[in-house]
Amino acid sequence: NAGVTQTPKFQVLKTGQSMTLQCAQDMNHEYMSWYRQDPGMGLRLIHYSVGAGITDQGEVPNGYNVSRSTTEDFPLRLLSAAPSQTSVYFCASSYRLAGGPSSYEQYFGPGTRLTVT
């Protein structure tokens, strides 16, 4: 299994450009999420999905769109890039552990480092 893969690893955008960050997992996990990581702020949830065709917003969804047409793929779209979106983006997939409704073990991809100038 490749686990969670993300492309590209690095990207530089100009303000106003749009792009899609790709994420795929081959573990047949039901749940997928996107986080951004900024210095001193940990990881913050952007969007998540509980299955194909179902997505919902996280803590910081503004400026980002997602869709989930298959179990394997969960792309993140930046509609009009802004310098405030300079960050490292991580995709994660998860499955529900036995023992409670909120036990989700997350597997992370290697990340995409995005710079917006």
Partner 1 sequence: GENVEQHPSTLSVQEGDSAVIKCTYSDSASNYFPWYKQELGKGPQLIIDIRSNVGEKKDQRIAVTLNKTAKHFSLHITETQPEDSAVYFCAAPPPGRRALTFGSGTRLQVQP
Name which of residues 6 to 35 contact partner 1 (CB under 8 A).
31, 33, 35
* Residue choice 11, 58, 73, 86 for contact with partner 1 (CB under 8 A): 58
43 is a contact residue toward partner 1 (CB under 8 A): yes
Q: How many CB atoms lie within 10 A of CB 76?
A: 21
Tokens, residue 23? 């994420």
Tokens, residue 36? 């951004």
Footprint on this chain of partner 1 (rule: CB under 8 A): 4, 31, 33, 35, 40-45, 48, 50, 56, 58-59, 90, 92, 94, 96-97, 99-111
